[in-house]
């Protein structure tokens, strides 16, 4: 049953994600994590003996699972590359609610907790880049071109979330979502 977002622990991870997304790692207090999950402090420690750090780890697992199932799986299916890419773009767009929601990965990279979660961050970013690069190669790019396009795509997604947040305007994110197909598949 690996994959479905069910089970109370996965449910909790989803709520915890919301809090970390909004407040960052350091800004997320146990009080809010408790309120968001509906679990008392002691229950949280029962499920996550390592405290906040364990909770964040569970959130990374949750995100990893989401990324594999919702974003990367379509890229690996058979069929038209453009259609498969669009599925992924739609998933990302929903995930960030059209640019109104922040990225937990970015938040953890730029916040004070980078060192603590560097392996998870590295794994997430490189997994995403690799999957996009493979699609670009399939669409006709060389290995090197494919990697460059994929890296630039992830750079633009992350950057647009920062800029949209800074300007308090989802338009930059939206514009990136629109130009992703040409960026990955080439200027056809």
Partner DNA sequence: GTCTATAATAGGATAGAC
Partner DNA sequence: GTCTATCCTATTATAGAC
Which of 45, 66, 95, 125 is the binder for its own copies (CB under 8 A)? Answer: 125
90 binds its own copies (CB under 8 A): no
> Per-residue string for binding with its own copies, 22-51, x by CB under 8 A?
xxxxxxx-----------------------
CA–CA separation, 93 and 28 (whole Å):
25
Asked if 156 is part of the footprint of its own copies (rule: CB under 8 A), the reply reads yes
Angle between helices 52-66 and 30-37 (to 10 degrees): 50
Burial status of residue 67 (CB atoms within 10 A of its CB: 0-12, 13-18, 19 or more): buried
95 Cβ neighbours under 8 A, 6+ residues apart: 66, 70, 71, 101
Q: Which of 67, 89, 105, 131 binds its own copies (CB under 8 A)?
A: 105
Q: Is 113 in the site for its own copies (CB under 8 A)?
A: yes
Residues at the contact surface with its own copies, assessed by CB under 8 A: 22-28, 102-103, 105-107, 109-114, 118, 121-122, 124-126, 148, 151-152, 154-163, 165-168, 172, 175-176
């Amino acid at each position: 049953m690996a994959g479905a977002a069910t089970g109370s622990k996965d449910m909790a991870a989803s709520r915890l994600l919301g809090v970390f997304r909004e407040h960052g790692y350091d800004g997320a207090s146990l009080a809010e994590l408790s309120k968001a999950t509906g679990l008392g402090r002691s229950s949280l420690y029962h499920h996550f003996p390592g405290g906040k750090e364990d909770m964040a780890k569970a959130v990374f697992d949750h995100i990893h699972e989401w990324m594999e199932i919702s974003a990367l799986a379509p890229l690996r299916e058979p069929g038209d590359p453009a259609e498969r890419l669009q599925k992924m773009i739609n998933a990302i767009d929903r995930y960030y609610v059209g640019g109104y929601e922040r990225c937990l990965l970015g938040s953890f990279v730029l916040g004070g907790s980078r060192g603590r979660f560097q392996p998870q961050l590295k794994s997430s970013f490189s997994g995403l880049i690799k999957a996009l690069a493979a699609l670009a190669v399939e669409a006709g790019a060389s290995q090197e071109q494919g990697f460059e396009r994929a890296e630039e795509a992830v750079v633009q997604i992350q950057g647009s979330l920062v800029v949209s947040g800074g300007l308090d305007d989802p338009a930059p994110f939206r514009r990136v979502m629109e130009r992703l197909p040409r960026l990955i598949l080439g200027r056809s």
